[in-house]
Amino acid sequence: LVEQKSKDEL
Amino acid sequence: MNVFRLAGDLSHLLAIIILLLKIWKTRSCAGISGRSQILFALVYTTRYLDLFTNFISLYNSVMKVFFISTSCATIYLMYVKFKATYDHNHDTFRIGFLLIPVTILGLLINHDFTPLEVLWTFSIYLESVAILPQLFMVSKTGDAETITSHYLFCLGLYRALYIFNWIYRYYFEGFYDLIAIVAGVVQTVLYCDFFYLYVTRVIKGKALKLPA
């Protein structure tokens, strides 16, 4: 699991 | 995109449309906290700075433009057009008490210490507490118009649905973002007593009256 950034979310 | 996130975004969209309709139809912003609306405008303008630099999808861009433009329009309606109906006396929550801690937290706990990332983090933390002036105002006035409670319900529901979206993405996409999740949980928890009042009163056709 890689902690990613929810940049595709509003 | 998954059904929870889409439902969340649509609930958010509906909340903003309800608010604009309420102000426009009743030509009044009584019962609405202008301070919360200022915080929301700050949330969207600091979060969607990548609108022109980072194209994700048409849906994503259209929604960002919608949120930024409607939050600014709401402030115009409240502080300019229907200024006379703005309830200064009950909208007294000190937003400095929110902005300062949120700014400090955004500088301390973030994914990446770059301007865009810190602003995004600030926006996420701010959104989780942006509704406090509004909830404070409802508790001070002791009640809220039914249309205002529908607005608050949809607004609270949006981030609650996002929590299901994050659970879904964790199990099916191996994706998670702790900053967004923790802030989203805090934001949803802040609505809990309102949700209780909404379900037990407004749904049954009674007015939203807070226990005095």
Write the secondary structure of B33-63 as one string of H (helix), E (strand) and C (coil): CHHHHHHHHHHHHHHCHHHCCCCCCHHHHHH
Q: Do B111 and A5 touch (CB under 8 A)?
A: yes
Q: Quick check: B163 pLDDT over 70?
A: yes
Interface of A with B (CB under 8 A): 1-10
- Chain B residues with CB under 8 Å of A5 CB are 111, 117, 120, 177
Q: What is the C-alpha to C-alpha distance for residues B131 and B141, in angstroms, rounded to an integer?
A: 16
Share of chain B above pLDDT 90, in %: 93
Complex-level ipTM: 0.86
Average pLDDT over residues B170-187: 95
Q: Is the pLDDT of residue B161 over 90?
A: yes
Look at residue B188 in the predicted model and tell me its pLDDT: 98
SS3 content of chain B, % helix, strand, coil (to 5): 75, 5, 20
β-pair partners for B175: A2
The beta-strand segments (E) located in B151-203 are 175-176
- Rounded mean pLDDT, B144-154: 96
Which position has the higher pLDDT, B192 or B205? B192
Tell me if chain A has a CB within 8 Å of the CB of B55: no
C-alpha to C-alpha distance for B198 and B165, rounded to whole angstroms: 23
DSSP, collapsed to helix, strand or coil, labels residue B82 as coil
DSSP code of residue B204 = G
Give buried/exposed letters for B94-119 (b at 16+ CB in 10 A, else e).
ebeebeeebeebbeeebbeeeeebbb
pLDDT value at residue A3: 61
Write the CB contacts of B73 (distance below 8 Å, at least 6 apart in sequence).
B20
pLDDT band at A4 (very low <50, low <70, confident <90, very high): low
d(CA B123, CA B58): 22
Among partner residues B56, B63, B177, which is closest to A5 by beta-carbon distance?
Answer: B177
From the list A3, A5, A8, the residue facing B56 with the nearest CB is A8
Q: Do B165 and A1 touch (CB under 8 A)?
A: no
Question: What is the per-residue pLDDT across B33-63, written as a single tens digit (0 to 9) for each?
Answer: 999 999 999 999 999 999 999 999 999 999 9
Q: pLDDT tens for residues B82-114? A: 999 999 999 999 999 999 999 999 999 999 999
Radius of gyration of chain A (CA): 7
Q: How many residues in chain B?
A: 212
